[in-house]
Amino acid sequence: MKPIRSIDRRVANIRDATAFEPYDPVTEPGTSILKLNTAMPRDVGFYIYRMEPGARSTPHRHGGAEEFVMLEGELIDNDGTVYRQGDVVWLAPGTDHVSHTETGCLIAVFSEGEETPLVG
């Protein structure tokens, strides 16, 4: 078996703040993303999503199913559901929601399709 070439591997550490990029500093201040597969759209596939204390996501609709694991902290959905460290969550395609965190959180996400922002 041949060794893996450096161009065929990306490695980052979730404890390295410089590995994260702002998700959207205008509409989602305090949120950032770590995504290694840059060939995929930003919110499709696997990524790590970080929210600072007090951060809020933009209201959105999922274009495909979304699954996530709460690695740290708590996340509160618009219906009052609280996700805590260790929770594994599945949201159906077409789900509308907005989430926020009081404590800050770190989430491993897999999303099947792009999100659509909701207005009004």
Whole-number pLDDT of residue 120: 60
Whole-number pLDDT of residue 119: 78
Whole-number pLDDT of residue 27: 87
Strands (E), 9-104: 21-24, 28-34, 45-51, 60-62, 66-77, 82-84, 88-91, 96-97, 99-100
User: Domains (ranges, CATH) in the chain?
Assistant: 29-117 (2.60.120.10)
- Which residue do the tokens 């305090």 mark? 30
pLDDT of residue 19 exceeding 90, the answer is yes
pLDDT digits (tens, 9 = 90+) for 90-102: 999 999 999 999 9
pLDDT digits (tens, 9 = 90+) for 33-87: 999 998 999 889 999 999 999 999 999 999 999 999 999 999 999 999 999 999 9
Report the candidate in 100, 57, 95 with the shortest Cα–Cα distance to residue 77: 100
pLDDT of residue 21 exceeding 90, the answer is yes
CA 87 to chain centre: 14
Angstrom distance (rounded) from CA 18 to CA 62: 28
Whole-prediction pTM = 0.94
The sign of the CA dihedral 65, 70, 74, 50 is negative
